[in-house]
Every structure is written in structure tokens, then in C-alpha cells.
Amino acid sequence: MLRRDLHNVVASEPVGPYTLLRVERGDLEPGMPGQFFMLEAPGRVLPRPMSLSLAPPGELGFLFEAIGPGTNALAELEPGDRIGILGPLGNGFRLDVDRPLLVGGGIGVAPFPYLSQTLDRPDAILGFRSSHHAEAAELVPNAEVVVEPTRVTELLEPGYDVLACGPAPMLSAVRELAPGAQLAWEAPMACGYGACYGCVVEIDGQYKRLCLEGPVLAA
């Protein structure tokens, strides 16, 4: 089993209904946008996969939604608490694109602040279920924001290199409109390095371990 190093929590900040957890970077590298880290709160057996959202000097930032015991435990961490972190893991977005457009839905926008910074602030289309959730769009420059029932795919235009992350129905709709898109899929993960097969998903009749072959896959 790979070792998870312990890192100090710097801050835990609300962003709408989400939590932005900032931790000391230590010796960890931020990796490529779209890769993920496994975060383990004290006393929790199973870690949780998190996309890197921010990488300021000396820190790593993770945006997530507290929806269960594991993520609730992460959201309750306070400055000075210690957290186990493993990463970066998986495959991130390819950055050799000519006309990038970020397309995200809900907490799927988590990797976009770091991705936007890396790609020099491209245009983005972000969709949320409510205006409260849409507060997360403040972390992504040059974003056009839509709230349900409007869908992000209603604003898609041809000619862009689409990099997308969000719920599976949104990604399926994006791939129909942008066949060359890069899609970051989501799945539960227990280990993060392919041992447990908990992240296997079926895409076009093929089974893929997202922690190894993804989470970013070509459409």
C-alpha cells in the first residue's frame, strides 16, 4: 500500500454550500490539472478522492461538497489538524489545446481554478443547481454561469477544445456535441491506485479503472 503523508490544515473556508480545504503542501507536487489526491481525515478508514482546485505557493486547495461521513469529517477539520494525503494520481487534462473552453457542472468545477490558471484563464461555462451553489464560480475567471433549468450544453458552440468535468449525464451530452472533448469522469474510489477496482465504470462497452486510466478520458 502506498504511504499517505501527514500534512497540516491551513484553513477550511465555505464557498457557497461547498468547502475549500487548504493544506500545507510539504513535499507534494501539484501535478497536472485533473489529477486527484486521496485525502484521509483522522479516524477514517477510507480516504476520499479530491481534484486539486488551487496550488498557491506552499499550499494545496481542495473544493468539495460534504455529503457523507468521510467528506463531513474533512469539512470539520480545523487549522493545525493533520490530514493524510496521497497523490497526485491518475491522468489529468492534456494542455496542448489551441482554443480551450472549460465546461463544468456542480462540484465538477473543482479542478477548474487550477486548470484555468495553467491555461491562462480561458473562457468557461459553468452550471449549478442554484445561485447558492453558483458561488463556486467566483473561483474560475471568465466564467459564464447558468443555473438550472438552463443546461451548460445549451451554450456550447463549435470550434472549441472542450475540457469538461461534472455529472455523467452532462458529460454524455457534452461528448455528443464536442466529440473531441476531454472528459473528467467521477466514480467512488477506495484506494486511488487500482487495487480495489472500486472505480470501474463502463464507457462505450469498455470497463475502465478511472484511478489509473482516468479520471480524464477522451470523448
CA–CA distance, 183 with 162 (Å, rounded to integer): 8
pLDDT tens readout for residues 15-53:
999 999 999 999 999 999 999 999 999 886 578 999 999
Q: What is the pLDDT of residue 122?
A: 98
Q: What is the pLDDT of residue 45?
A: 59
Q: Which CATH number fits domain 5-88: 2.40.30.10, 1.20.870.10, 3.40.50.11540, 3.40.30.10?
A: 2.40.30.10
Which parts of the chain have pLDDT scores under 50? 1
Domain boundaries, the chain: 5-88
Q: Which of 33, 186, 204 is nearest to 102 (CA)?
A: 33
* pTM, entire model: 0.92
Q: What is the pLDDT of residue 5?
A: 86
3-class secondary-structure state, position 145: strand
Q: How many CB atoms lie within 10 A of CB 131?
A: 10
Q: What is the pLDDT of residue 187?
A: 66
Q: What is the pLDDT of residue 183?
A: 96
Question: What grid cell was written down for 84?
Answer: 493524510
